[in-house]
Structure 1
Amino acid sequence: MAIQPIKFSKSCIKTLTAVEADEARSHQHEFQGVAPLKEMFGYAKLTTKATFSIRGSSDSYSADLTWYDAREGNPNRSAEYRLYFQSSPVMEAAQEGDVIVIGYDKNNNIHCELIQSQRLTNQNTQWQISQNTVHY
């Protein structure tokens, strides 16, 4: 539930690009595997459930996540990590410029919390996110 701030033990913040948020631009359902995600998930393939929610809404949805190296089968190219997410009403509501907080809660469950840009004010959001948050 995202009406109250989620207390993350470790998290990172990602501003969504057009290809991550807009299904008309891309059907890939993936976040680019940037350094903070590598720090959180490591380098081994991981498939798990995550809870997706929108800040300010009491609705939450369970969806599959897969962390993987998209170039694993190509030894001539360097690793390119991605975080695949199953479609959900949360990501269907996402737009370019929105922010997603991806992190582990105190029970080691993964949450993906969407903060819609029209609700986003830097000061208002920063105090509600764990000190272990990495911005990218």
Structure 2
Amino acid sequence: MAEPDKVHVGEVLPPRVVTPFDGFAALSQIVDAVQDCVKVHAVENTKQARLATYEATEVAKIKAAESVLKQYFEQSFAERRSNFDELFGRLDTALDRGDSQIVNSVLTGIVEMARTSPLANIGDLGQIRAALDDPNHVWEL
């Protein structure tokens, strides 16, 4: 069965007359909204640029530290050279791809190999981190 048509009861309003003031107010609202949008866009672009700079800096630090550590490993762990080369190759690939999950896995593997080696006996790893952060540190191998 079809529903009967509903009858709407109410008052018909006359069309609204838009004054020049109404038009100017609407234009002002549009201009304000666009200005707000431009400001937010600029702020977000600045944040993205800062994050990109931070990322590039941290990746450069990692690669610099990797270079020093790889040299140490090559000299100190001749028998493990191929294993470390493979792990650092995978680390480079993961960093280039931006795949943090693989970076984490590879770093875990590197740390586990390091724990079972003489590297674990070299002392406080916090001091090593401070040395890696110091661009004037001289490494004696």
Determine which structure has more spread, i.e. the larger CA radius of gyration: 2
| Bigger helix share | 2
Higher relative contact order (CA 8 A, sep 6+): 1
User: Shorter-chain TM-score: which interval?
Assistant: under 0.3
